[in-house]
Amino acid sequence: MEAWLKISLLLSIFGFLRETKPSAPFITDFLVDFKDVTLDQVLRDVYPVGTYSYMVLAIIAFLITDYFRYKPLIFISGISGIITWSLFLWTQSLLGLQIAEVFYGVYLATEVSYYTYIYAKVARSRYDSVTAHTRSAVFLGRFVGGALGQILVFTRLMNYKELNYLTLGTQVLCTFWVFLLPKVSSSVYFNRNENNNDERTSSALLWYHFKTSFSNIEVIQWSLWYAIGNCGFVQVTTYIQVLWNTIDNDQDVIWNGAVEALITLLSAVVTLFAEKIQNILHLRSNSNVAILSVLTSLEGLSLVLAAKTKILYVSYVGYMLFCTLFAFTITICSAALARKLEDDSFGLIFGINTFIALVMQSLLTVIVVSGNVLVLDAIQQFYVYAGFYIVFALLYACYHIYSICKK
């Protein structure tokens, strides 16, 4: 087996194990049923802590990932997963769950090391192949986790709490698996290859990539789209189980796991065939903005469907439509952005855009979720998220019309 393929498979197995979390689709029901917290406390006091933690740590994680050459941060990712699910299992108090959310923020922030490690270990000519491997492993892990959790709950072989033991087990396995990954000898900024003739300091190179990228109006356009779209998506996926619990909490068996598994499959297919779909719809240059504005407005309308109904299964459909549309739009947006960037600046720009998304999400959480500014229930909050996407789409549509008129 070729060296690059062996490394890619080792990392992909880590990604598969990390994302195989059978308890994830049922975490809200688990907290409400097995911990000393109410649904309102989960909504306003528990989940927001993870959002704030993720925001604070995201940009730090990106920089120290490069400085420490990826592998140590992958290990920290595994350790933080073990701590998170251990606390979920063995703490009862609100404070204990909030501490778990702090470590969950670490878990999410260090995810960047998984996606960037492989590019430091293989030749540029293999980037497409290894990207496909690592992304597919994530999708497969989420599918297996969702499907397995649903089967075990439906057959009553396990309850919501017992599923967390399986998730803890996969986090332990992926942490030990890290030791099989080869060390990285160089990185983009702080540990450059000796054969690199660029004599600029790390800070100078960071500033050069930042300035060069954001001097391009198209990079700014697609970066804003990426940040705003991700902000709304993470917010929706964080609180969707609270919405479902609000709509109908009397179901003997809920189908959250099946829904998440199906979404994973749909998202994988849409992502895989995004370029072909783009060609069929003639999505090129300025037409990207127009058609993606329409698709983004449909994302908002699908959230209205998910929130307005009193039938849980209709809400499931609305959420699946939203996630599938998002998978397509964010893939097209990411590809359009990547085409405008220098190769070595990919990680920096996407890291900055992710951080901006998290700052926006934190502001959205303070205003909409915390109860300190607006006092809204879960259904009303989802109307806000729907409006967020629709207004976002309208603004970009207006910008598109302005650009055409200007020409």
> What pLDDT sits at residue 291?
77
- For the chain, domain boundaries: 1-178, 216-406
| CATH code reported for the domain at 1-178 | 1.20.1250.20
- The residue ranking higher by pLDDT, 278 or 129, is 129
**pLDDT bucket at 288, cuts 50 / 70 / 90:** low
What 3 state SS string does 360-374 have?
Answer: HHHHHHHHHHCCCCC
User: What would the pLDDT profile of 339-376 be if each residue is shown by its tens digit?
Assistant: 777 666 777 787 888 899 999 999 999 999 988 888 89
Candidates 85, 88, 105, 109; CA nearest to 37 is 88
Answering whether pTM is above 0.85, one says: yes
To 10 degrees, what angle do helices 312-338 and 217-247 make? Answer: 170
Q: Is the pLDDT of residue 147 over 90?
A: yes
**Spatial separation of the C-alpha atoms in residues 312 and 294, rounded to whole Å:** 26
Tokens encoding 208 = 């050069």
Q: What is the mean pLDDT of the chain?
A: 87
Q: Do 1-178 and 216-406 agree at the fold level? A: yes
> What pLDDT sits at residue 108?
93
Question: Tokens 């959230």 appear where?
Answer: 303
Question: Tokens 């001097």 appear where?
Answer: 215
> What pLDDT sits at residue 275?
62
| CATH code reported for the domain at 216-406 | 1.20.1250.20
In degrees to the nearest 10, what's the CA dihedral of 72, 115, 53, 145? -100
Beta-strand runs (E) in 175-247: none
Tokens encoding 325 = 């549309």
Using CA atoms, how far residue 355 sits from 114, 223, 231, 381, in Å, is 17, 11, 10, 23
Question: Tokens 């080869």 appear where?
Answer: 182
Candidates 282, 271, 369; CA nearest to 325 is 271
**Spatial separation of the C-alpha atoms in residues 193 and 199, rounded to whole Å:** 11
Indicate left, alpha or beta for 35 from its phi (over 0: left) and psi (-120 to 50: alpha).
Answer: beta
Q: Is the pLDDT of residue 205 over 90?
A: no
> What pLDDT sits at residue 170?
97
Determine contact, residues 57/113, Cβ cutoff 8 Å: no
User: What would the pLDDT profile of 304-344 be if each residue is shown by its tens digit?
Assistant: 999 999 999 999 999 999 999 998 888 778 777 777 776 66
**Spatial separation of the C-alpha atoms in residues 27 and 160, rounded to whole Å:** 7
